[in-house]
Copies of this chain bind each other. A is one copy, B any other.
Amino acid sequence: MSTITNVKTYDFRFPTSQTLSGSDAMNPDPDYSTAYVEVETDADDGIKGTGFVFTIGRGNDVVCRAIDSMSHVLLGRNVEELLDNMRLAWDLFVGDSQLRWLGPEKGVEHMAIGAVLSALWDIKAKRAGKPLWMLLAQMDPEELVATLDFRYLTDALRPEEAIEILQEGKRGKDERIEYLLKFGYPGYSTAAGWLGYADEKMVQIAKEETEQKGFKQIKLKVGRNVDDDLRRLALAREAIGPDVRLAVDANQVWDVPEAIEWINKFHDFDLAWVEEPTSPDDVIGHATIARAINPIPVATGEQMQNRIMFKQYLQANAFGVMQIDATRVAGPQEVVLEYLMAKKFNKIVCPHAGGVGLCEAVCHFAMFDYVAVSGTMDGRMIEYVDNQHEYFVHPIQISEGNYVAPTAPGNGTEMTVETAQKYLYRG
C-alpha cells in the first residue's frame, strides 16, 4: 500500500513568439507553455506520475493554481485504491459539485482536472510497465468501460455499446500491436504553414517535410488575407506535388457566412480539410459550413471543451474530421469516450498536436484507437511539429513521416525538468 505524498506544478513558458513559430490568424504571437504537474507517492518504485495542460502563455499560472488548489484531494490518499478504480478518481474531480460551477466541465478547471487524471493514469501505466496506449488497449472491455462516465452521452452512446465496440476490437488486436510496433502511425506536418513565415521559408520547409522527412500531409494557416492564402496555397501545392495531402487551418477567425464565402475560393487545391473555420462552440454553424463547402471536409476539435460538444458534432454531422486534443478534456477517460463515439458514428480522428508535449501525449490515444477501437489507420494521422521535444524524457521519434510507437512505460509526458529550468515563469 502506498500514499500520494506530493503534487507539484511547474509553469514553463517557451518564448516561441520570438520566431513566429506557432503564429496563425487568431494567435499572432503564442508562447508555447505548459502547466506541468508531478504526482509523487511513497512507494519504493520511485515512480512519479506526470501530466500537463498545454497553453500559449498568459494564464498558464492560473492553470497551475487550479491544479494546486485541487491537490488536497489527492494528498494522503491511497494510491492503489485510485488506480484500481479510476472512475472514483474521475468522480473526485469531475463530479465535485462546487468545482462544476466553474465550468461545468470546461475551461481552466476542466483542463487542470485533465492534467491530474493523466498523472494518475501515468502511474498506473508505469506500474504496469506499459506505454499508456498498450495499457488501455489491453484492458478488459468491461474494466475499461467501468472507468468511463457516460453522463450526458447516453442519447449517443451507451455503456453496453461501448463494450460491444471494444469486444469487436479484440479481433486481430495482437497483429495490430505488432504492425504498430514495426511501422508506427502516420503523422502530418504543420511546420511549414505558420502565418508569420515568408513564402520562401514556407516552400522550403514544405519540401523538407515531405521530400526528406516523408510526411504525406502538410497544413497551412489561412484566414488573414484571402489573396495571400490563394498565393500560398498555389505555391505549396506546386512544392509538394499532387500526391501529398494539403490541409488549411483558419484558427476560428471567421463568422459562419464569411467562412463559407472564403473557403469556397479554395476548391482548386484538392484540400484534405479546412480546420477551425469558426468558434468551436458553434455546432450549428459548423454544420451549416460543412454543407456549404462540400466536398471540402471541415475539421475541428483542438479547442473542443468536452465530450458533450463532440457528441453534438457527431449527431449533427458538423465535421468530417474530429481533432481530439489530449490536454483540454478531463484526461484519458474523456479521450477514450470521444474515440468510442467517433467509432460509433464512423468518423475519422486526426488528433491535434504540435504544442509542448502534445505529440508525446496524443499518439497514445491514436494508437489505442488503432489497436482496440477503430482497428484502422485509413485516412487517420497525427499532427506533428518539431518543437520542444528535447525537454521530454522520452521524446517522440518520427521515422519516414510516421510516429514511432512509444514503448517506455507511462503516458509519455514526463519532462526532464532540469533542462527546462530556465523557462520557469516567475511573474
Contacts and interface: CB of A to CB of B under 8 A. Distances in A.
B59 A62 contact: no
Contacts of A279: 104-105, 151-152, 308
A66 B59 contact: yes
A212 interface: no
A258 B347 CA distance: 27
Nearest to A284: B312
A97 interface: yes
A103 B62 CA distance: 12
A235 interface: no
Contacts of A101: 27, 30, 55-57, 59, 303
Interface residues of A, number: 63
Contacts of A97: 26-30, 56
A309 B100 CA distance: 18
Q: Identify the interface centre among A151, A278, A284: most chain B CB within 10 Å of its CB.
A: A284
A69 interface: yes
A63 B104 contact: no
Interface string A82-116: 00000000000000111111111111111100000
Given A107-B106, A305-B281, A312-B284, A55 B98 contact: yes
A306 interface: yes
A58 interface: yes
Interface string A294-313: 00000000010110110110
A129 interface: no
Interface stretch (A214-222, A249-257, A387-395, A414-422): A249-257
Contacts of A99: 58-59
A252 B151 CA distance: 10
Contacts of A66: 59, 62, 108
A58 B96 contact: yes
A108 B98 contact: no
A131 interface: no
Given A104-B252, A107-B103, A108-B109, A315 B284 contact: yes
A65 interface: yes
A62 B98 CA distance: 12
A101 B280 CA distance: 12
Given A101-B303, A104-B279, 9 more contacts: A27-B98, A30-B98, A55-B102, A59-B109, A65-B65, A106-B281, A154-B256, A155-B255, A282-B312
Interface of A: 26-31, 55-59, 61-63, 65-66, 69-70, 96-111, 150-155, 252, 255-258, 278-285, 288, 303, 305-306, 308-309, 311-312, 315-316
Top 10 A-B pairs, shortest CB-CB distance: A107-B107, A108-B108, A57-B98, A58-B98, A155-B256, A281-B308, A65-B65, A152-B279, A154-B255, A27-B97
